[in-house]
Amino acid sequence: MIDVQRLRILRAVAEHGSFNRAATALHLTPSAVSQQVAALERGLGTPVVVRSTRGVTFTEAGRVMVETATAISAELRHAREQIDRLGAERPKLTIATFTSGGRLLLPAALAAFATEHPEVELHLLEREPEDSLPMVRQGVADLALAYHFDGPLPARPGDRSGLDWLALTDDPLSVVLPAGHRLAGRASLDLGELASERWVLGCLKTAAFLRRYAELAGFELLVRGSTTDYFFARSLVAAGVGVSLVPSVALTPEQPGTVVVPVQPPRPARHIGIATSRRRVRQPYTAALVRALQHAAESAAFAVRAGGSPAHGLQAMKLHDHHAAAAAGR
């Protein structure tokens, strides 16, 4: 039988990259960690790690056991939460979300959810996808509102699987220019036309995309401002610091002194969706919130197709729901 404590130690080694750092996190000695991993290997009859002076790497069997350890930890946490909920006065739902998507989609979705389920206590955690997705897999959050660019979902070591991804909407990127910029009157722009510009970054992932594009287009990216907030980046653009690349959901409210110009096709975009745990039984409250988020995303997407902004679509949805509720009460 596989010892759960040994799996917990193996998972810590994967998270921290060495026996010494795992031992520190677990308040054990490196020798004790090594002995527990060796005992796990004897029980399995195969190596799970390859030891070297540079740390440890995992065999294929080791990677399977790390993923298993993560799943078991999530299940135990979920069981603890269920037991706690049995004695709690109100059921709880924990949502992890990235800032700009949460700002656009969550208020309307949560308002609709709270109307339908006033008995549920909601907890919100602001996290980027590389942090929120592991939280869902580990049972810390019930769902995550997250995004990714082209390629797989972001994940940390040991957190690559165990998630279901429900796509909500694509979030195209646009160039934000100072109002008096020479290209401010254009209907669309190729990023290559901005090769000589100074850039203000509102997200490290956007920076990674821009650097790849610049390398392929043969120019050097000149960064004059770096933030972790698109709204702050737009303020810097208005002040003339540089130009920026901003997703649609972060373009509301309008920023005085700036002009938004779409990028020419193939237009880069973020892909926004909901992550839930594949291994955990989804509670009905989670399913209800997923439906509310889908409704909010559909309203935002409809507004964009009609030539408005995502926020206008959500405002229309709120008015529609308010009138519907009023009519139902009459």
Closest CA to 66 of 160, 163, 133, 154: 160
Work out the average pLDDT over 29-38: 91
Instruction: Read off the DSSP letter of residue 191.
Output: G
Measured distance CA(187)–CA(261) in Å, rounded: 6
pTM listed for this prediction: 0.66
Which has more confidence, 22 or 151?
22
Which has more confidence, 83 or 38?
38
What pairs with residue 173 in β-bridges? Answer: 247
Query: Per the omega criterion (within 30 degrees of 0), is the bond before 266 cis?
Result: yes
Tell me what pLDDT residue 56 has.
86
Tell me what pLDDT residue 154 has.
62
Measured distance CA(138)–CA(168) in Å, rounded: 23
**Structural tokens at position 39:** 């005992």
Strand extents, DSSP E, 155-291: 163-178, 198-201, 222-226, 244-247, 258-262, 269-277
Measured distance CA(167)–CA(131) in Å, rounded: 19
**Structural tokens at position 291:** 């439906």
Whether residue 149 has pLDDT greater than 70: yes
Which has more confidence, 208 or 10?
10
**Ranges 210-214, 262-266, 317-321: which has the least confidence:** 317-321
Tell me what pLDDT residue 232 has.
93
Whether residue 318 has pLDDT greater than 50: no
Instruction: Read off the DSSP letter of residue 185.
Output: T
Q: Give 50-93 pLDDT, tens digit per residue.
A: 988 777 889 999 999 998 888 888 778 777 776 766 665 678 89
Tell me what pLDDT residue 235 has.
95
Measured distance CA(234)–CA(242) in Å, rounded: 9
Whether residue 186 has pLDDT greater than 90: yes
Closest CA to 243 of 297, 300, 191: 191
Measured distance CA(229)–CA(203) in Å, rounded: 7
Work out the average pLDDT over 247-265: 90
Cβ atoms within 10 Å of 121's Cβ, excluding its own: 11
- With the C-alpha atoms ordered 94, 100, 103, 109, is the resulting torsion angle positive or negative? negative
Kindly state the helix (H) or strand (E) to which residue 35 belongs, with its residue range.
helix 30-44
What pairs with residue 247 in β-bridges? Answer: 173
Whether residue 153 has pLDDT greater than 90: no
Q: Pick the most confident of 4-18, 85-99, 111-125, 198-212.
A: 111-125
Contact criterion met (CB below 8 Å) for 122 and 93: yes
Burial of 271 (0-12, 13-18, 19+ CB in 10 A): middle
Measured distance CA(117)–CA(103) in Å, rounded: 21
How would DSSP label each residue in 47-72?
--EEEETTEEEE-HHHHHHHHHHHHH
Kindly state the helix (H) or strand (E) to which residue 134 belongs, with its residue range.
helix 129-137
**Ranges 97-101, 185-189, 303-307, 317-321: which has the least confidence:** 317-321
Q: Which residue has the tokens 């897999």?
A: 137
Confidence of residue 245 (pLDDT cuts 50, 70, 90): very high
